[in-house]
Amino acid sequence: MTPYAEMTKDEMKRELEELLVEYDKFQNLGLNLDMSRGKPCKEQLDLSMGMMDALYSGADMICEDGTDCRNYGGLTGIKEAKILIGDMMENNPDNIIIYGNSSLNVMYDTVSRAMTHGVMGSTPWCKLDHVKFLTPVPGYDRHFAISEYFGIEMIPVPMTPTGPDMDIVEKLVSEDDAIKGIWCVPKYSNPQGYSYSDETVRRFARLKPAARDFRIFWDNAYGIHHLYETPQDYLIEILAECKRAGNPDMVYKFASTSKITFPGSGIAALATSKNNLEDIEMQLRHQTIGHDKVNQLRHVRFFGDIHGMMLHMVKHADILRPKFEAVEQIFEENLAGLGIGTWTNPKGGYFISFDALEGCAKRIVEKARKAGVILTGAGATWPYGKDPYDSNIRIAPSYPPLEDLKTAARLFTVCVRYISIKKILENMDAA
């Protein structure tokens, strides 16, 4: 295909007319598709229905150590669940706290505790003049929402295919003691699907922050969410690497089974150092007597061990992989060579990141919405919802049925082409 930048003005106008005809056909289909969040589809949720039979009225509800899961107690989770989730997170069970269903809730609690009571004896953040977080961009909008809610200033750091720009991260954290944390999705990142390189992880572990209460918020949401049996991305384990580097307390590592079993009733966990655990448990004793041990036991009985969980994830991949490949193929067929957009081809996770021409993302998303396809809002992948380039769009292929997804992807490419030509023509007229 001829790059749009090489077309004459008349050629672009003819292309625009043809695209408008094609767009009208999509509008007449009466589409109503939601691709705004990375939600598992019904077929994925059905994979875990056997968990409902893992426990029943006559089931043994007693753990190996004698804990009755129906009763009070077990502040940090049952041993069996710590072993299962420890294997999933690649961490020692003794370094893990099992929570309720939401890792996002654990992250919120962790920031809230630091705001009101500080980190391991440091000054509570709410008593400081300035609190800042580094935010790799494009990034996860719910991380940004937590920071914004607590009035934390967010400093964008560019993402690369190997992780955040570590030259910038190292410089900023070493110079400014108001920088208290950084949000990370280190494996199959949201939205690009990038995984941090070995060098990036090692540089994280060897940071020399000016703030002694600086923490890396390591949200390993997609740790075992591969799309392919091979190749798969692997990470150096951050807690072990921090310990080797003499920074054992610098990381809070989060994970959950939200996109493994049921998002509404999974189990979440935090892994961190012994010192951090003691600090957290002091607060936790005042907050709860214990989380849902019955649900923890149900997960253990359903999977058996990490091998059962990994076999389960292969079934997820078999459902998701054709959806990602369909979107990537349609993008390639309809957009490649036009010079109006680039996109990622992740090997895992839940998202594809699309970068349009500067100044086009909001108009593309709105154009798709008018034809019945709801995308993540343009700007959502940047702090405060403000993409300074107005170019990044997060694509979430997981939820729609495959044929609907193909229709939505084709419509998206029509919108991208239409808005891009309009933008190029506007620039030509303004020149």
What's the rounded Cα separation, in Å, for the pair 56 and 251?
39
What's the rounded Cα separation, in Å, for the pair 206 and 200?
10
Query: Residue ranges of the domains in the chain?
Result: 4-45+310-430, 61-304
Distances (CA, A) of 266 to 193, 288, 320: 23, 18, 20
pTM of the prediction? 0.96
| Superfamily per CATH, domain 4-45+310-430 | Aspartate Aminotransferase, domain 1 (3.90.1150.10)
Fold held by 61-304? Aspartate Aminotransferase; domain 2 (3.40.640)
Look at residue 403 in the predicted model and tell me its pLDDT.
Answer: 97
Look at residue 430 in the predicted model and tell me its pLDDT.
Answer: 83
pLDDT tens-place values along the chain, 431 residues long: 789 999 999 999 999 999 999 999 999 999 999 999 999 999 999 999 999 999 999 999 999 999 999 999 999 999 999 999 999 999 999 999 999 999 999 999 999 999 999 999 999 999 999 999 999 999 999 999 999 999 999 999 999 999 999 999 999 999 999 999 999 999 999 999 999 999 999 999 999 999 999 999 999 999 999 999 999 999 999 999 999 999 999 999 999 999 999 999 999 999 999 999 999 999 999 999 999 999 999 999 999 999 999 999 999 999 999 999 999 999 999 999 999 999 999 999 999 999 999 999 999 999 999 999 999 999 999 999 999 999 999 999 999 999 999 999 999 999 999 999 999 999 988 86
CA angle (398 as vertex; 394, 402 as ends), nearest 5: 115
Q: What is the CA radius of gyration of the chain?
A: 23
Reading the block at residue 26, the tokens are 């999509």
Strand partners, 184: 218
What's the rounded Cα separation, in Å, for the pair 425 and 431?
10
Alpha helices (H) along 238-390 = 238-244, 274-287, 293-303, 306-335, 361-370
